[in-house]
Structure formats: C-alpha cells, structure tokens
C-alpha cells in the first residue's frame, strides 16, 4: 500500500516532531520494561503468556475444572482469558493473576462484534450505510461499554471479504468489495482503539480471520480455500492491510486451509506477509481451537506437533487448544521450536499489556462507577437508532407506496418477524436485552399515533412450516388501509456455523405474501436477515421492499422511522443479491469472457445461463431514496496523467426531489487492456452527500497512480500506461456519468 511522506516545516512540524519524539521515548520505555521482565521469566512462564482460556465455566458453581484453571492462573500459566466480563468477575480473576510469581496481569478478551450492551446493526447491515463516521461511532460506543466492564480486547472487526451469501458469516463482515471493506475495517479499528492504546474507553481491536476465510468453498463454514496469489493479494488481503495501517493491535488467524496449508500454521501469511513485508508489531491469536484442529486437517501428527508448527509459523497466542500449555516448552527443549521465536511471541503480548497500562494499574478497566455510567447512557440507544436508520436499504418503491401516510384509519402489521425482538439483535451479541426493545409492530403503533388502529397477526413463525395462522393474518389485512409484512430469517439462521444451502425465504413465508396478494392486499414488505436472501416472487410483485438486516436494539423504531418517512433511506447494498441459487457466487466485479452476454435475449454460445437471467436481482451499491438525485457536468482536470500527476474528477450532484436526502455517490474504474485481465468495474471511491430539496453540490474525486494500480502477474503493485474508464453512479449497475483518461508512459 502507498505511504505518503510529508515534508513539514514551521511550528506545526516542530509540534509533530516533539509528539513523535515523545511517542518514541514511550516505545523505548515499554521495550525496556518488557526486556527486563522477560529476563526474569522461566520458559514455562513465557509459554503461559501465550495461553488463552475461556472462562465460561466461572459463571457457574465451582468445579474441578474451575479450580484447576484458578490454580493455573495463580501459577502464571495463563496470559489471557476470554468470555469473562463485568467489573466483579474481571477484578476477581485479575487478583488471581497477581498472586503469580511475577504478577503479570491477564488480558480479558470478548467477542464484541456489533455492540456490548447497546446492540447496533449486524456489521453487514451497518456497512450498508457506507457512513464511515457512523461505523466508527458504533465501535467507539461498544468500546466504551466493554472497557468499562473490564474488557481489554475485542475479537473484531471481521474484515473477511465475503462473496457467497450461503456463508453465514457474511453477517459479520462488510460484504463483497475489497475497497469498501478496507475503508470500513479502518473505521472500526479507529472506533475500538481510539486515539491510542491505553485509553480507558478503548479496547484492542482484532483484524480477523487471516486470511481468505470468506472464500470458503461453496459457502460452507470452515471449508477449504483454494485461490491464486493474485486474487489473495488483490481482493482478500487489502482490508487486513488497512486494519494494520489503522493501528490494529492484534490479528486472528483463520480456521480454513489456504491452498492446502491451515492458516494457523501458514508461515507465508503470518511470518512473510504480516510480520515481514507489512511489519506488524502486534500479536497473532489463533481462532478457537484452530491449533488443535491442524491435527484434524491432517497437517500435524498430534497436539505437540500442532503447537510447534503454529508457533513457528507465527501464531503467537493459543486460544483454547491447550497445545502451547501442554507441549510447547518440551518442544523448545527438544529443539523443535526456536526459543527466539517463543521470545518474540511473548514480547509481542507483553508489549500490549504494558501499552494498555495494566502493569501500572491492573484494575484500571474494571471500574464499577464507570461501568454503571457507560451501560446506562441513553445517548448510546439514540445512536443505535440513528445508525440503524442509515443502514436500512430501500430496495424497491413503486407508486409512492412508501412512506406511509400518517392519519390512516388502520394499518396491519403482519408476518413472523412483525413482533420480533430477540431477532432484531442478530447473532454474536454479548447479552440479549430483548425485554427493553420495541418490535416493529410496537414502533409502528408509536409512530402512527393513537388515531390509527394497528392490527397484528404473525401468520406463522419464522420457520413457517404450515399455513394454520394465515387466515388470521388475512382477516387483519382485509379492513386495513395499509399492510406491512415482515419476513426473513431468525437471528440464529445467520452467523458462524450457519451456512445455508438455500437462502430463500424460510418455509412457506412466500405463500403468506401470495395469500395477501390474492385478497387484493399486496403488502409493503420488510425483510430482516443477516445475509442477502433470494425472494424473486416478492421482488417482482411487492410495491415496496425495505431491507432492514438485523438492525439492533433500536431496530424496531428505526424501521418505523423509515416506513413513515421520518428518516429518508440512504443505504446502499454492500453485497449483490442473486435471483437464483444457481447464480452463486455472484458479484459486481465480473471479468469479461471471450463470449460475453451483450443481449439477454441472445444467449447462444455466450457466457450465459439458458434457464435464468444473467443479471442479479439487486446489484452491489443499489439503494433507493424518497427523493431523486441528478448527476451532471462531469469534468476532469486534465485528460492525460503523467507518472507523478493527479487528476481531479468533478461533477454536480443535485437533489431534484421534494425531500432532504443523502446520496452515496460511487466512483468506479475499468482498465480495458492490461497485462492481467481486469474486472469490468472496480470501486475506487465513494462519498455520502446530504442535500436539501433543490440543492446541488460539486463532488470531487482525486485520481492518482495509486488509483490505477493493480497486482500484476508477478504480484508487483503497478500501474500500466494506457486508457482508463472512470464511471460515476448511484450503484454498480446505475452509472450516470463516464469519462476516459490516459496514463502516460
């Protein structure tokens, strides 16, 4: 990635130099303290710092396993715990660690994926906002709540590029695009970590899963990955590099094999790229049990062999495999693992503990008063409502079906998710607060006002295996002035180990929609899910479709805000929505074939399906508004760019509708002729622009050599001279303006 070096002069430069010198002095101080401590450590104590255990058992009565773990902590055999949260429990276990010989404090880690107590939209949904400030804010609030509860470290963000919606973990990421994913990865790292490590309202971030986990074959979780070096470097690694550049303190390796080698034991990834070429100074933690699983993969002969291969490959901390704790010291003494590599791993872990200030005050993150204040702050719920509103995508809106008018006599809110609360939170939450949440029907009642009668009937549960409840839903709809139908997944249908072979609407949900159509009450449809779904019949016939994802603690109110027009939707899809299962995987970054489809009616000897359209249902970047936007007057500052030049692309964006709104304008690039075939489009920039009715604004993008660069056949990052096509639009399939430029030799 490009680095910009600025030549600074004057008072500002002197201030920056002074701050930099202080930072370097602090680094030297930490390094000196680390070396002094390591000089006192036995090999077993060093290995202990690389051992992470789960503390779920501590939530119940004391057992032999609990007592054994307590003894291990007191003996200096544990460096980190996960699944311990709250001031009381983190202080209690930290006190045990301080009984060890060297009194090295524990790190407490937790999966704070999209909120701690306040739940924000699932990361894929939040990514639909394309609002980097909002995404950073949600991570900052999550860090504030988690750090006040004794947590030092979150296992987030997940920055895996995901292009197959059958893979349930697309819910945790930013979608299919490497550029968008990189920008969002950096925003989340900044939100979690704040200005620096050690701030008591920040937590260490973890960029995971390194690497290529999102390309699991057939979208089946934990499955193998097989890909070219070019695809790895160009698509799957950039979000990780962006997270590193943003200061991510830790990385987590992945469950999958990459071209036959488990990521946990992949020296090419961890030693050569991450710690070598990229210069990563933090530490790498394994995923849960992934060191042990190298035996199951057939890459290690036993647990001791797995420990040796993982540590040697660059995996610093062992999460819940007991591989390092049980055998690493013996492997060092047997000469199978270099002590220098163990020391390097320990040095990395201890450095983060010093940087967090834990040696100066082991309890500084466990403050009961701060915990109470952070978890009770009403501003957090308001932020969750605002961000959820920005994440909801208006997929379709015909005939002015939305927004709903206030003053209607009656509204029917129907469907298996109409009164859902727990499902609004999605998966990977710390603790459900469903009792404090408003469902969609609750929120519609509140938004519509007392003069409007709101009727509710579920029709069926989410699985929707029978039609026994349909008649009650039809009866509720018959006398209503408007009908809203809430369909989709339950919270536990997306996430880890939640791959689906069929991502259509569950059960007979589609039949409920058709039954309403049959009585002349075609509903506005609200869809909730953690992934793109296939719903072709609904897409064809519903007048309006709102995609709410799993929108979080304030999701009910956020959905009502959009339905009634209190929030003008502005979200754009971070993943392509297919029409059929047979199209998977599908994305906007297609490559031209030698026999491309130019005309959907002519598919003879073309790169085409003969039994289905070749276009997606909804393209990457798609999302509608209650207002309209015009793109006009595209200009470039110069038609040809020299090696060190920059070109400014500018155009006028105008709000031509009757409502204030925000448009996410998208810049795409095509390199038509190159030494390696390039995609038809690549996202290279975006801006979120808010305009009042009738307002217009000049939008500018800067194009430099970096924008035009790619990895060539030798995996060199280069820009080749020639013609490039620049495209600006509202979606990857909705290009409004285009202009060619040339890069001079």
Token readout for 402 is 């939305």
144 and 201 in contact (C-beta within 8 Å)? yes
537 and 514 in contact (C-beta within 8 Å)? yes
500-518 burial: b if 16+ Cβ within 10 Å, else e: beebebbbbbbbbbebbee
Closest CA to 426 of 464, 388, 461: 388
Residues in the chain: 745
Closest CA to 563 of 454, 691, 436: 454
Identify the three-state secondary structure at position 472: helix
Q: Which residues contact 286 (CB under 8 A, 6 or more apart)?
A: 252, 253, 264, 310, 315, 317, 318, 319, 321
Strand order in the sheet with 453-457: 393-397, 544-547, 524-528, 482-488, 410-414, 453-457
Closest CA to 429 of 366, 488, 492: 492
Q: Catalytic site residue 287?
A: yes
Angle at the Cα of 295 from the Cα atoms of 212 and 252, rounded to 5 degrees: 35
Beta bridge partners of 107: 80
The DSSP secondary structure of 369-426, one letter per residue, reads HHHHHHHT-HHHHHHHHHHHHHH-EEEEE-TT--SPPTT-SEEEEESTTTT-SHHHH-
The catalytically annotated residue of 111, 131, 160, 287 is: 287
Identify the three-state secondary structure at position 696: strand
283 and 312 in contact (C-beta within 8 Å)? no
The pair phi, psi for residue 700, each rounded to 5°, is -125, 140
Question: For residue 627, how far is the Cα from the chain centroid?
Answer: 29
Closest CA to 180 of 587, 592, 682, 651: 682
Q: Which residues contact 618 (CB under 8 A, 6 or more apart)?
A: 395, 539, 573, 576, 577
Question: For residue 193, how far is the Cα from the chain centroid?
Answer: 16
Which residues are designated catalytic? Answer: 287
């Amino acid at each position: 990635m490009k680095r910009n070096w600025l030549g600074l002069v004057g008072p500002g430069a002197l201030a920056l130099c002074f701050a930099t010198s202080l930072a370097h002095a602090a680094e030297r101080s930490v390094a000196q303290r680390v070396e002094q401590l390591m000089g006192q450590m036995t090999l077993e104590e060093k290995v202990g710092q690389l051992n992470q255990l789960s503390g779920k058992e501590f939530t119940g009565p004391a057992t032999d396993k609990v007592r054994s773990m307590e003894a291990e902590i007191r003996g200096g055999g544990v460096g980190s715990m996960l699944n311990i949260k709250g001031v009381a429990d983190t202080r209690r276990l930290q006190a045990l660690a301080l009984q060890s010989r060297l009194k090295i404090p524990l790190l407490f880690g937790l999966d704070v994926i999209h909120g701690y107590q306040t739940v924000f939209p699932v990361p894929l949904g939040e990514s639909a906002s394309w609002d980097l400030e909002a995404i950073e804010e949600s991570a900052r609030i999550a860090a504030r709540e988690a750090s006040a509860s004794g947590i030092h470290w979150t296992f987030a963000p997940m920055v895996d590029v995901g292009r197959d919606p059958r893979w349930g973990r697309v819910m945790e990421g930013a979608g299919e695009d490497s550029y968008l994913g990189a920008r969002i990865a950096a925003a989340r790292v900044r939100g979690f970590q704040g200005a620096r490590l050690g701030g008591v309202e920040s937590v260490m971030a973890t960029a995971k899963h390194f690497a290529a986990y999102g390309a699991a074959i057939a979208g089946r979780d934990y499955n193998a990955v097989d890909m070219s070096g070019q695809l790895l470097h160009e698509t799957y690694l950039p979000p990780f590099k962006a997270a590193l550049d943003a200061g991510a303190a830790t990385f987590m390796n992945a469950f999958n094999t990459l071209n036959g080698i488990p990521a946990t034991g992949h020296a090419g990834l961890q030693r050569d790229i991450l710690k070598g070429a990229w210069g990563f100074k933090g530490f790498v933690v394994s995923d849960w049990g992934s060191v042990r699983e190298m035996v199951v993969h057939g890459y290690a002969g036993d647990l001791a062999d797995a420990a040796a291969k993982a540590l040697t490959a660059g995996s610093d901390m062992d999460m819940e495999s007991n591989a390092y704790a049980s055998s690493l010291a013996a492997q060092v003494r047997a000469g199978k693992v270099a002590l220098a590599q163990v020391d390097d791993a320990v040095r990395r872990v201890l450095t983060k503990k010093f940087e967090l200030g834990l040696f100066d005050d082991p309890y500084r993150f466990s403050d009961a008063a701060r915990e109470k204040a952070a978890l009770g702050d009403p501003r957090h719920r308001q932020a969750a409502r605002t961000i959820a509103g920005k994440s909801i995508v208006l997929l379709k809106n015909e005939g002015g079906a939305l927004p709903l008018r206030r003053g209607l006599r009656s509204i029917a809110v129907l469907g298996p998710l109409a009164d859902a609360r727990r499902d609004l939170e999605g998966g990977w939450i710390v603790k459900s607060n469903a009792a404090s949440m408003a469902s969609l029907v609750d929120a519609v009642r509140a938004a519509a006002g007392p003069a409007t009668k709101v009727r509710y009937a579920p029709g069926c549960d989410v699985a929707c295996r029978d039609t026994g409840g349909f008649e009650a839903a039809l009866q509720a709809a018959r006398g209503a002035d408007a009908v809203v139908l809430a369909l989709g997944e339950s919270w536990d249908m997306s996430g880890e180990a939640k791959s689906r072979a069929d991502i259509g609407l569950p059960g007979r949900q589609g039949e409920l929609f058709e039954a309403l159509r049959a009585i002349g009450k075609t509903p506005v449809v609200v869809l909730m899910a953690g992934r793109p779904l296939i719903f072709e019949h609904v897409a064809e016939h519903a007048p309006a479709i709102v995609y709410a994802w799993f929108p979080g603690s304030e999701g009910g109110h956020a959905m009502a805000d959009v339905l009634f027009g209190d929030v003008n939707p502005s979200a754009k899809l971070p993943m392509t929505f297919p029409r059929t299962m047979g199209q998977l995987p599908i994305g906007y970054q297609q490559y031209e074939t030698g026999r491309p489809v130019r005309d959907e009616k002519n598919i003879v000897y073309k790169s085409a399906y003969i039994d289905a359209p070749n276009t997606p249902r909804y393209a990457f970047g798609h999302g509608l508004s209650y207002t309209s936007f015009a793109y006009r007057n595209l200009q470039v500052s110069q038609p040809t760019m020299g090696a060190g030049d920059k070109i400014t692309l500018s155009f006028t964006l105008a709000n031509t509708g009757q409502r204030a709104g925000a448009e996410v304008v998208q810049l795409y690039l095509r390199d038509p002729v190159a030494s390696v075939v390039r995609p038809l489009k690549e996202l290279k920039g975006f801006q979120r622009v808010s305009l009042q009715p009738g307002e217009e604004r000049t939008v500018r993008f800067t194009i430099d050599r970096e924008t035009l660069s790619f990895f060539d056949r030798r995996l060199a990052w280069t820009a080749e001279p020639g013609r490039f096509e620049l495209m600006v639009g509202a979606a990857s399939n909705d290009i409004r303006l285009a202009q060619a430029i040339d890069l001079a030799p």
